[in-house]
Amino acid sequence: MPFLESAEMTHAPRIAVLVSGRGSNLQALLDAEARGELGCSIAVVISDVPDAGGLDRAKDAGTPSRVVRWSDHANRDSFTTAICDVADEFSVDGLVLAGFMRILAPEAIDRFPNRIINIHPSLLPSFPGAHAVPQALAYGVALTGVTVHFVDREVDHGPIIAQESVPVEAGDDEVTLHRRIQQVEHRLLPEVVAAFAAGELDVDGRNVVWKRGGRAS
């Protein structure tokens, strides 16, 4: 199924960016948008955490934001419905999970099929979940990295759009390794979102085909 094909678009592509924390990946997306390199507009930033740094970044950029608190909802289904309703309120074409630390219920995948992108700080399928960086260190891997993938009904599992490795260096701790991983994230995520917005990504089973014959980098 093609994504954001120009034939089905009646407006410039719009995305919602979901955050839970510092929002440095959101900042990379905002910066790419400001440079005219994102190919879409960030219509709204949604956070499940009321004091997430990402909300300040949205404010500084003049981008609308909303808080959907986990604790205001009885269960994951209700929380997910609220997130999707905000996304619909802003007429977005896709969601980008940029350090969003909650798992969305299947309703989100049904409402945005192959239109939800997640960034994860490991080479999936290694180290899924919320503690990928310390787990890679504890395991003693020589290489870890970054995965950007479409979200499906399983956690950190959907079709992989792009991956880049990051070597673990002698003396690395969680802070130093995560810092180098994030340098890659901040380049890779805007590149993937731009390709998504341009309709350049096709999903064929687990394989994502970059229509222009692969990534530029």
From CA 186, how far away is CA 182, in angstroms rounded? 6
Residues 5-34 binding ligand GAR (CB under 6 A) are 19, 21-25
Q: Which two tokens stand for residue 50?
A: 């009321």
* Closer to ligand GAR by Cβ: residue 132 or 194: 132
- Closest contact distance (angstroms) between CB of 156 and ligand GAR is 6
Q: Which residue has the tokens 């999707």?
A: 84
Token digits for 10?
Answer: 């009646």
Interface with ligand GAR in residues 139-198 (CB under 6 A): 182, 185
* Interface residue with ligand GAR, options 94, 121, 145, 190 (CB under 6 A): 121
Q: For ligand GAR, which is the closer residue by CB, 114 or 118? A: 118
Which residue, 25 or 80, is less far from ligand GAR as judged by CB? 25
Cα gap 101→33, rounded to integer Å:
23
For position 98 contacting ligand GAR by CB under 6 A, the verdict is yes
Given 14, 115, 120, 149, the residue binding ligand GAR (CB under 6 A)? 120
Of residues 111 and 120, the one with the C-beta less far from ligand GAR: 120
Number of residues that bind ligand GAR (CB under 6 A): 15
Q: Residue 143's beta-bridge partner residues? A: 167
Binding mask 58-97 for ligand GAR (x = CB under 6 A): ----------------------------------------
Residue 184 corresponds to which tokens in the numbers above?
């890659």
Structure tokens at 171: 């003396």
Considering the complex, what minimum distance in angstroms separates the CB of residue 129 from ligand GAR? Answer: 6
3-state secondary structure at position 180: helix
CA dihedral 130, 136, 138, 141 (to 10 degrees): 170
Amino acid at 7: A
Among 119, 123, 148, 197, binds ligand GAR (CB under 6 A): 119
What is the distance between the alpha carbons of residues 130 and 88, in angstroms, rounded to a whole number? 27
C-alpha distance from residue 77 to each of 66, 67, 129, 132, 153 (Å): 18, 17, 20, 25, 13
From 11, 73, 120, 178, the catalytic residue: 120
- Is 120 a known active-site residue? yes
Residues that bind ligand GAR (CB under 6 A): 19, 21-25, 98-99, 119-121, 130, 132, 182, 185
Q: Which residues are catalytic?
A: 120
